[in-house]
Chain A
Amino acid sequence: MTILTDLGIRQIRDGVRAGEFSAREVADAFIVAVSRAKPLNAFLVETPDHAIAAANAADAARAAGEALKPLAGVPIGMKDLFCTKGVPSTAASHILEGFTPTYESTVSQKLWDAGAGMLGKLNMDQFAMGSSNETSAFGNVVSPWRRNDGGNAALAPGGSSGGSSAAVAARIAPGATGTDTGGSIRQPAAFTGISGIKPTYGRCSRWGVIAFASSLDQAGPMARDVRDCAIMLEAMTGFDPKDATSLNLPVPTWEANLNASLAGKRVGVPREYRVDGMPAEIEALWQQGIEWMRDAGAEVVEVSLPHTKYALPAYYIIAPAEASSNLARYDGVRYGLRDLPDGANLQQMYAATRADGFGDEVKRRILIGTYVLSAGFYDAYYTQAQKVRTLIARDFEAAWEKCDVLLTPTAPSAAFALGEKQADPLAMYLNDVFTVPASLAGLPAMSVPGGVDAAGLPLGLQIIGKPLDEQSVLDAALAIEERAGFVARPHAWW
C-alpha cells in the first residue's frame, strides 16, 4: 500500500490522473500528517477545508472526464508572506496579528487556478528577516532533522522559509512556496535536504507578497526534487500587470524540457567561494559536485567573481534600506496592531505600535536602513552599495563569457542548533554568503541536496544561472540529483 505522504508533486499529479488514488485521499493523508506534526511548529494556520475543496474539485473533474489542471490533487503549504484571501496572513509578526487579507496574492491565485489546494500558512522568520526561523513572533520552527550523535538538539530548519523547508522535509506537505531575498529559499532547502529554486527577478509576481526588500524579493517553489520544483514553478510564474517589475514573457515549459545531460555545457567554479573556515565536508561535497558535472558531460572551468566578498555587506545596506521604507506602512492606522497609550498623540501611537509590533531583528534592520538612508550618510552607504551591486552583476556577466552555469555550495555549514547563533546577528548574516550574490544580480539559483555530513545532516549544492535561464539551472541540478542519489530522510520523532 502506497504511503501517500511519501509521494512528491509529480507522483501525486500522475497518480490522481491515472486514478491510482483520489485527490481526496491525498488531501486527507496530508491533513492528518499536518495535524500530527505540531512539535515542528511549521504551520501557523491550518486550512484543511481549502485543501479538501481543491481535492474534491479535482476528483469531480476526473469523474466528469475533464482534463485535469497541472496541479490537480496536489495540496501545498503557503509561506505566510503571501496574502491569502480570508486566511490570516502575518509574515510571522505581531504587527500583522489578526490581519485577514481581502485579496489573494497573484502567485497563490495562480497555484489555486492550477488546481492546487492549501494545507495551511507556514511559519517563517518575521518579515523574512532571518536565516534560522528564530525571528518568528510565533515560535521557532524545529527542523525534522536531528544529528546522529544520539543527542536531541533542536536544529534550525534554515530561514527565512523555515516552515516551508521543515514541512516538505517532514513529508507533511509535498511542496511549499518560499520567498528568497538573500537566500531564503536556498539555505533552508539545503539545511533540510530538499530542493528549492529562486527564479530570475521578475518571473514571479510580487503582488500580494508582504514586502521586505522589493528589488530582491522573489517567490519560488520548495519541493522534494528538481522535477517537482519545475512543475510548481511553471504554475507560479507569469506576467502580472499589477507588479511593475513583472517580466512580460511567456512561461517556459521547464518540466517537459528537463535534460540531465550536460554535454556541451560549461560549468563555472568561482574561486572566491572558497571561504576561510568552511568545513572540509562542504569542500569535499563541492569537489564531488564538480565530478558529477563532468560525469554528466559538462566541461568544468574555473572562473573569478572578484567582488564576492563585498556582496554580503552591500546586501546588508540595500535590504535594510528597502525594508525601512517598505515597513513604514505599519502605522497602526490601516491594518494590524494598534497600540494607543493613554493620552498618546498620533506620532506617539505610531512609535508605540511599531515598538510593540516588530521583533528585535526587524527593528534592528529598520534602524540600520533608516541610518544608511539618513541625510549625510546616503551616498557613503546606500549609493556606494548600489555601485558595488553593479560591480557584482558585472562579475557574473564576465563569468557568463566562460560558462553557462555556476556550481557552489549553498551554505557554509550544515544546519546549526536553534539558539547557537542567535546572540550574534553578524554570525547569522554570514550564513547567506553564497546565496546573496545571485540575489543582488537577480539571477536564477537553486539548491539541491548533495549528501550528508558526519552528523547525518543534509548539505546542499547551489547552481546559479544566467538571467531567464532557469532551464539550465534545473538541468544541472537534475544532473546532480541523479548522481547524488540522496535518499536520507528525517526519522519521524514528532
Chain B
Amino acid sequence: MSVDTATVKKVASLARIAIDDAAAERLVPELNNILGWIEQLGEVDTQGVAPMTAVIPNTLRLRDDVVTDGGIRDAVLANAPAAEHGFFTVPKVIE
C-alpha cells in the first residue's frame, strides 16, 4: 500500500497537524519509503498467532473505590497556556 498527497493530507488532518501542499508532497516519498519497508511483515505466517497484549505477564490490580487524589486545581492549571477563573480556556466553540 502506498500513500498519495491526498492521503497524507487526510492522515495529517486526523492527527491534527497542519500541513501545506509543499509539506504534504515532501512527505509522500518519505512515508512511502517507510511503509514499503514495513510491508515485509505481510510475508510472516501469523495464522493462529494471538497478538501480543502484555510483554511480561501481569494482572490488572484493583483497589478500593475511594478518592485518592484531587484538590490540586491550581497545580493542574499551573502550566495551561490560558486559564481563567479556575478553568482551561479555548477559542469559542459555540456561537
A residues lining the B interface (CB < 8 Å): 98-103, 200-202, 215, 241, 244-245, 247-248, 307, 309-310, 313-314, 316-317, 324, 328, 331-338, 340, 344-352, 354-355, 358, 363-364, 366-368, 370-371, 374, 377, 380-381, 383-391, 393, 425-426, 429, 440-442, 467-468
* B51 adjacent to A387 (CB under 8 Å): yes
Q: Judging by beta carbons under 8 Å apart, are B15 and A370 in contact?
A: yes
Partner of B34, one of A101, A355, A426, A440: A426
Contact A390/B61 with A247-B56, A333-B80, A442-B56 known, Cβ cut-off 8 Å: no
Chosen A-B contacts, 13 in total, with CB atoms closer than 8 Å, are A100-B79, A201-B55, A247-B56, A248-B61, A313-B40, A314-B41, A317-B41, A354-B15, A355-B19, A364-B34, A380-B1, A381-B38, A468-B56
The CA-CA distance from A103 to B15 in the complex, in Å, is 28
Complex interface: chain B residues within 8 A of A391 (CB):
44, 46, 49
A442 and B57 CA atoms in complex are apart in Å by 10
A365 closest partner in B (C-beta): B34
> Are the CB atoms of B93 and A346 closer together than 8 Å?
yes
Q: Is A368 within 8 A of B41, CB to CB?
A: no
Please give, as numbers and ranges, the residues of chain A lying within 8 Å of B18 by CB-CB distance.
Answer: 348, 351-352, 354-355
A244 CB contacts on chain B under 8 angstroms: 60-61
Closest partner residue, chain A, to B39 (CB atom): A313
A390 contacts B56, C-beta separation under 8 Å: no
Q: CB distance A313 to B91 under 8 Å?
A: no
CA distance A440 to B41 in the complex (A): 15
Q: Give the distance in Å from the alpha carbon of A442 to the alpha carbon of B30 in the complex.
A: 30
Q: Which residues of B contact A345 (CB under 8 A)?
A: 91, 93
CB within 8 A of B55: which of A102, A215, A348, A352? A215
| Given A328-B16, A350-B16, 7 additional A-B pairs, CB 8 A | A102-B79, A245-B54, A317-B38, A377-B1, A384-B41, A389-B51, A441-B55
Interface-centre pick from A309, A335, A338, A387 (highest chain B CB count, 10 A): A387
Known: A355-B17, A363-B17, A388-B41. A368 touches B49 (CB 8 A): no
Report if B6 contacts A (CB, 8 A).
Answer: no
Q: Does B22 contact A (CB under 8 A)?
A: no
Q: For residue B46, which residue of chain A has the nearest CB?
A: A387
Residues in chain B within 8 A of chain A (CB atoms): 1, 3, 7-8, 11-19, 27, 30-31, 33-35, 37-42, 44, 46, 49-56, 58, 60-61, 63, 72, 75-76, 78-82, 88, 90-91, 93
**Closest A residue by C-beta to B36:** A426
Q: Which of A336, A347, A425 contacts B81 (CB 8 A)?
A: A336
The 7 closest A-B pairs by CB, nearest first: A442-B55, A386-B51, A338-B81, A335-B79, A387-B46, A351-B18, A355-B18
Cα A374 to Cα B40 in complex, Å, equals 19
Chain A residue contacts of B33, Cβ below 8 A: 425-426
Given known A201-B56, A354-B15, contact A368–B34 (CB-CB < 8 A): yes
Contacts of A352 in B (CB 8 A): 18
Closest B residue to A355 using CB positions: B18
Closest Cβ of chain B: how far from A424's Cβ, in Å?
8
> Whose C-beta in chain A lies nearest to the C-beta of B17?
A354
Given contacts A349-B91, A371-B31, contact A393 B55 (CB under 8 A): yes
User: Is the beta-carbon distance between B11 and A370 smaller than 8 angstroms?
Assistant: yes
Q: Which residues of B contact A99 (CB under 8 A)?
A: 79
Q: How far is the CA of A193 from the CA of B62 in the complex (A)?
A: 44
Identify which of B27, B39, B90 contacts A367 (C-beta below 8 A): B27
In the complex, A354 Cα to B15 Cα: how many Å?
Answer: 9
B71, chain A: closest CB distance, angstroms: 13
Q: Which of B18, B61, B75, B79 has the most CB of A within 10 A?
A: B18
Considering the chains assembled together, what is the distance between the CA atoms of A241 and B37 in angstroms? Answer: 39
Nearest CB of chain A from residue B24's CB, rounded to whole Å = 10
**Residues of B close to A332: CB separation below 8 A:** 81
Docked Cα-Cα span, A385 to B14, in Å, equals 22
Among A245, A307, A366, A441, the residue within 8 A (CB) of B17 is A366
- B56 and A200 contact, CB distance less than 8 A: yes
Contact, CB under 8 Å: B30 / A364: yes
A450 to B43 Cα, complex, angstroms: 36
In the complex, which residues of chain B have a beta carbon less than 8 angstroms from the beta carbon of A241?
Answer: 61, 63
Most buried by A among B12, B54, B75: B12
* A102–B78 touching, CB < 8 Å: yes
Inside 8 A of A351's CB, which chain B residues have their CB? 13, 16-18
Complex contact B46–A384 (CB within 8 A):
yes
Most buried by A among B27, B52, B79, B91: B52
Task: For B15, give its contact among A310, A324, A346, A467 (CB under 8 Å).
Answer: A324
Contacts of B58 in A (CB 8 A): 202, 245, 247
Query: In the bound complex, how far is the Cα of B34 from the Cα of A32, in angstroms?
Result: 44
Residues on B with beta carbons closer than 8 Å to the beta carbon of A247? 56, 58
**Residues B79 and A390 in contact, CB atoms below 8 Å apart:** no
Is B44 in contact with A384, judged by CB distance below 8 angstroms? yes
Residues of B within 8 A of A344 (CB): 91
Q: Which residues of B contact A215 (CB under 8 A)?
A: 54-55
Bound-complex Cα distance A332 to B65 (A):
32
Chain A's nearest CB lies how many Å from the CB of B33? 6
A173 to B94, CA, bound (A): 53
Whether A364 lies near B78 (C-beta < 8 A) is: no
CA–CA, A436 to B80, complex, Å? Answer: 36
